Chain A
Amino acid sequence: MGEGIKPFEFRQCTGIIKSTGMKARNLLELRDMIAKISDDSLFHHTCQYFLKGHILEYTNDFAQWAGESLEERALAEHLSNVDSYEFGEIDDLRLELLRVINGYVSVFPEPREAISGNEFYFNEAVTFIFSAGVRARNLAEFLIALKYIDSSSIYYHFYEARVRLGDGTDDFSRWVEEALRKRELAERIRAIDLFIYSLEGIRERIIKVIEEELRDEMEFRGGE
């Protein structure tokens, strides 16, 4: 292994937060704002949610706010179940969020106000992408790199890639499948639930499946 394999180039990304100046005080205002805010803002509060690295209870900023500030925990659960990476167009994600909120409002129409200072503030990000200066030419090098690269690399390759590649896959499993021709391993990486873990949790899980793969390879070779 090594000769002729396209190396994996680790990149990382980070953002600086920009305010849109818009805020919502209750659920109806949140809904109306979601209908009209920029694609960048919607992306920031959903897909980029995981870049924060915070270990929060829900899976996007809207769900977090509904649960924490409005104490609408059922709605927070519904919103957390929206897979923000499965939509080809950001407007489709927007429609799904609106569908969920409208469904909830039809059952519980009384808007609850957030206390002053706890309103939802719509932001967006300017994103910086740059090389991490780390390259892996085989699975063992890839494993070592995974153990020490910055967590924003995990975000860039495992989360953001789903939007960038447009086919619901990620950079890690794609490289494992295309460059290393390890389809089963690729599928195991792809199957990790990206909404359940923090970036560090994702790192641990990918490391675990690769270590299992390498151990199996070594044992297989040892038995030859």
Chain B
Amino acid sequence: MINQYAGIAPKGDLLLLRKLSEKLAGRSFLHINSTRSGGGVAEILNRMIPFLKGIGIDARWEVIEGDSKFFDITKKIHNALQGNPEKITPEMWGYHFETNRRYAERLGLQADALFIHDPQPFPLVEFRKNGKWIWRCHIDLSNPQKDVCDYLTKYCRKYDSAIFSVARFARALGTDEFIIPPSIDPLSEKNRELTDQEVSGVLARFNLPADRPAILQVSRFDRFKDPVGLINAFRMVRKYNDSILIIAGSPATDDPEGEMVLNEVKEFAAGDPDIYILLLPPFSDRDINALQRAATVVLQKSLKEGFGLTVSEAMWKGKPVIGGAVGGIPLQIIHGVTGFLVHSIEGAAFRIRQVLNNPELARGMGERGREYVRTNFLITKQIRDYLAVWYSLENKGRGILEL
């Protein structure tokens, strides 16, 4: 398994991965989240679980498949933790807990290490038995609603550790806290090399013109991704540059607001023949890969963002990326080096024009971006770090570990 990444991932990451897999071989590693498809967490787990098995770790992935009421509540919790005002009633907290209690009986929580992803399965820790329990937070927790954060803290103390994507998301939650950014898999269908024919075939299937520069944003239909702001920026750009805008996204089973936001976006773009809104079915990985490769510039104009894997994906394809200066995006985009960070719709429009009118600038940013992703945001590094956290928790109190 590791050998497939030789020549792609940094050698040092692969070597440490080998050392840690020798130490943890045969041990059980359970991941729990709330969706098998849609969004970055499911995407990473779809790739990570087979990888872990391939290096001899007994990895398992379970999902809390709650009902729509559960996901309405967890979406509100999610939004509140990302700073939106939300009212979570005691009855809602009770429903959240009760759903977790039912799943705790069903899932079998026996493992040497358990990674609980995001707030949906968070209360499972109340039913912990053996093993190291680690809460993996994928969301932007830099400015949470206080009462919801306090609730989180109550549970967090029962975990052995928490992991955040970016240092500024970490809070004093009463447990050890590690910083590990998410990653992309260079060998996945989403990121593997494609032929020119494959790319043009996808453009043709979606009736997208190939003769004009394409500005692309790939994301869920979520207000935090600012799709309306993106369209406004595009309308500013078009005064100067003949181009098209593609907004592509898939629905996620744990996001009940998606359809509503999609309709808002369609309405806002109505009648504009240069704006293409694509609702892709889950697992449209090859299509997304092709769209990213066909794009002239890729946007991630988020207003809040846990990390924004689409930024790393586009950088891996050598594209200049313009991202909102929020959440985990500044960790990926070094302003002016691997892309541009923007703070406004006007800023997005200005940087798009700069990139469209300066191919050399775009090419240089793309090259540097790809190398930056190679050394920092590939799946081999993330798995290495997850195993390192697990191993360090089993050797708690030691700041230096010799393998």
The interface of chain A, by Cβ under 8 A from chain B, is 12, 14, 16-19, 21, 23, 40, 53, 116-117, 119, 121, 123-130, 132-133, 148, 150-153
Contacts and interface: CB of A to CB of B under 8 A. Distances in A.
A130 B402 contact: yes
Nearest to B14: A150
B12 A16 contact: no
B179 A123 contact: yes
Contacts of B142: 117
Interface in B389-403: 389, 392, 398-403
B171 interface: yes
Contacts of A53: 375
Name which of A14, A21, A148, A152 has the most chain B CB atoms within 10 A of its CB: A14
B388 A130 contact: no
A18 B178 contact: yes
B6 interface: no
B159 interface: no
Contacts of B389: 16
Interface in B143-185: 143, 164, 167-168, 170-173, 176-180
A36 to B, nearest CB: 15
Nearest to A38: B399
B11 interface: yes
Given A19-B164, A19-B170, A123-B179, A128 B16 contact: yes
A126 B12 contact: no
A91 B171 CA distance: 27
Given A16-B385, A21-B172, A150-B10, A132 B178 contact: no
B374 to A, nearest CB: 12
Contact of A130 (B15, B143, B385): B15
Name which of B142, B177, B399 has the most chain A CB atoms within 10 A of its CB: B399
B399 A132 contact: no
24 contacts: A12-B12, A16-B180, A16-B392, A17-B180, A18-B176, A19-B164, A19-B167, A19-B177, A53-B375, A117-B142, A117-B168, A117-B326, A121-B170, A123-B179, A126-B399, A127-B400, A127-B401, A128-B388, A129-B402, A132-B15, A148-B11, A150-B10, A151-B12, A153-B12
B129 interface: no
**How big is the B interface, by class?**
20 to 34
B19 interface: yes
A18 B12 contact: no
Contacts of B385: 16
Q: Is the interface of B mostly helix, strand, loop or mixed?
A: mixed
A13 to B, nearest CB: 9
A16 B172 contact: no
Contacts of A130: 15-16, 19, 402-403
A152 B388 CA distance: 16
A133 B15 CA distance: 9
Contacts of A132: 15
Nearest to A56: B334
A14 B13 CA distance: 9
A119 B171 CA distance: 13
The 8 closest A-B pairs by CB, nearest first: A150-B12, A19-B170, A21-B172, A121-B167, A130-B403, A17-B179, A19-B177, A126-B392
Nearest to A19: B170
A56 to B, nearest CB: 10
A122 to B, nearest CB: 9
Given A19-B178, A19-B179, A150 B167 contact: no
A21 B169 CA distance: 9
Contact of B12 (A17, A40, A152): A152
Contacts of A150: 10-12, 15
Given A16-B389, A127-B401, A128-B403, 16 more contacts: A17-B179, A18-B178, A19-B178, A21-B171, A21-B173, A117-B142, A125-B399, A126-B398, A126-B401, A127-B400, A128-B388, A129-B400, A129-B402, A129-B403, A132-B15, A150-B15
B399 A16 contact: no
